[in-house]
């Protein structure tokens, strides 16, 4: 109970600090502009004539690739730069509460940005009779992908005081997670060398494989487990890194 309250206290503070700076508004505007233009230009939303969110949601992992590290790079880097790190870790709270509290704030923030895209659902409904289950599932996939990338950014942001380095490293890691299962890449590898098992194993690690399943409206425990385990792993990594930062 006490631990939940501590976590929530931290989440509230962190979330408020997002909105205290113009970065939050810039982020939301860029996210909305990009997801809109990708949908209508690259995604061919109207010419498809389908009543589905696919041309909208399919771009999200690619948007998150840059936007989530940008939103999350300050999580720990800023805390260490300003010295409040020392304050936080001499308070009677556990490292887990601190890491979780800050992560949840970032995830909630991304969730708010995602919620602001819901007017597009109205457009889809105007075009025809969409499948609500598939749409909900698609949004869930998008939200989980954002959380996964954010957990990775939390880890890279704990590594360094420098936000730029933290940004670049997390973009690279997230890109690997995308590419490992992205058909254009996997097909290329298959053409070049017929190692089916390798490609399959790699795409099991990819966000795209699991994201696509959810986009098709399939809720499979294995997909959910994938997102959960990457997040837990990255947050655990954050804890290990923060601990080593404190002792040196």
Partner 1 sequence: MITAENVTKWFGPLLAVDDVSFQVERGEVLGFLGPNGAGKSTTMRVITGFIPASGGTVKVGGFDIDDDPLEAKALIGYLPENAPAYPEMTVEGFLKFAAELRGLRGVARAEAVERAIRTCFLERVRHQMVDTLSKGYLHRTCFAQAILHDPPVLILDEPTDGLDPNQKYEMRELIKEMGKEKAIIVSTHILEEVEAICTRVIIVDRGKLVFNGTPGELKSKSRTAGNLRVRVLGVPTQDVVARLRQADGVKGVDVLDETAGVLCRLAGKPDPSLIAQVVVGAGWKLGELAVETGRLDDVFREITISDTVAEVAQ
The 3-state secondary structure of the chain reads CHHHHHHHHHHHHHHHHHHHCHHHHHHHHHHHHHHHHHHHHHCCHHHHCCCCCHHHHCCHHHHHHHHHHHHHCHHHHHHHHHCHHHHHCCCCCCHHHHHHHHHHHHHHHHHHHHHCCCHHHHHHHHHCCCCHHHHHHHHHHHHHHHHHHHHHHHHHHHHCCCHHHHHHHHHHHHHHHHHCCCHHHHHHHHHHCCCHHHHHHHHHCCHHHHHHHHHCCCCCHHHHHHHHHHHHHHHHHHHHHHHHHHHC
Of the listed pieces 11-19, 122-130, 139-147, 210-218, which binds partner 1 according to CB under 8 A?
A: 11-19
Radius of gyration from C-alpha coordinates of the chain: 19
**Which residue from 22, 47, 49, 83 is in contact with partner 1, where contact means CB under 8 A?**
83
Nearer to partner 1, 21 or 37 (CB): 21
The Cα–Cα gap between 115 and 121 comes to: 11
Nearer to partner 1, 1 or 129 (CB): 1
**Residue 93 Ramachandran class (φ > 0 left, ψ -120 to 50 alpha, else beta):** beta
Q: Indicate whether 2 belongs to the interface with partner 1 (CB under 8 A).
A: yes
Q: Which of residues 148-187 bind partner 1 (CB under 8 A)?
A: none
Least separation in angstroms between residue 246's CB and partner 1 is 5
Least separation in angstroms between residue 3's CB and partner 1 is 10
Least separation in angstroms between residue 160's CB and partner 1 is 18
Q: Indicate whether 82 belongs to the interface with partner 1 (CB under 8 A).
A: yes
Q: Indicate whether 90 belongs to the interface with partner 1 (CB under 8 A).
A: yes
The Cα–Cα gap between 104 and 98 comes to: 10
Q: Indicate whether 86 belongs to the interface with partner 1 (CB under 8 A).
A: yes
Q: Indicate whether 129 belongs to the interface with partner 1 (CB under 8 A).
A: no
Q: Indicate whether 92 belongs to the interface with partner 1 (CB under 8 A).
A: yes
Least separation in angstroms between residue 125's CB and partner 1 is 40
**Which residue from 20, 41, 193, 221 is in contact with partner 1, where contact means CB under 8 A?**
20
Q: Indicate whether 1 belongs to the interface with partner 1 (CB under 8 A).
A: no
Q: Which of residues 228-247 bind partner 1 (CB under 8 A)?
A: 246-247
**Which residue from 37, 84, 187, 196 is in contact with partner 1, where contact means CB under 8 A?**
84
**Which residue from 40, 66, 89, 205 is in contact with partner 1, where contact means CB under 8 A?**
89
Q: Indicate whether 26 belongs to the interface with partner 1 (CB under 8 A).
A: no
Interface residues with partner 1 (CB under 8 A) are 2, 5-6, 9-10, 13, 16-17, 20-21, 82-87, 89-94, 246-248
């Amino acid at each position: 109970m006490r631990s939940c309250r501590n976590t929530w206290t931290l989440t509230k503070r962190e979330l408020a600090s997002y909105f205290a700076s113009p970065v939050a508004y810039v982020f939301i505007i860029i996210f909305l502009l990009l997801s809109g233009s990708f949908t209508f230009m690259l995604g061919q939303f109207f010419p498809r004539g389908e009543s589905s969110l696919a041309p909208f949601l399919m771009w999200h992992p690619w948007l998150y690739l840059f936007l989530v590290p940008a939103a999350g790079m300050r999580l720990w880097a800023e805390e260490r730069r300003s010295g409040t790190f020392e304050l936080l870790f001499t308070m009677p709270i556990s490292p887990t509460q601190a890491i979780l509290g800050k992560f949840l704030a970032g995830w909630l923030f991304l969730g708010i940005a995602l919620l602001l895209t819901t007017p597009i659902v109205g457009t889809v409904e105007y075009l025809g009779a969409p499948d609500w289950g598939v749409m909900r599932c698609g949004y869930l996939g998008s939200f989980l992908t954002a959380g996964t990338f954010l957990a990775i950014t939390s880890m890279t942001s704990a590594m360094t005081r420098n936000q730029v380095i933290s940004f670049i490293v997390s973009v690279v890691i997230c890109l690997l997670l995308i590419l490992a299962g992205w058909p254009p890449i996997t097909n290329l590898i298959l053409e070049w060398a017929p190692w089916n098992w390798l490609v399959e194993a790699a795409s099991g690690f990819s966000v795209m494989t699991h994201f696509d399943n959810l986009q098709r409206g399939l809720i499979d425990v294995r997909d959910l487990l994938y997102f959960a385990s990457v997040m837990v792993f990255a947050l655990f990594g954050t804890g290990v890194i923060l601990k080593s930062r404190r002792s040196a």
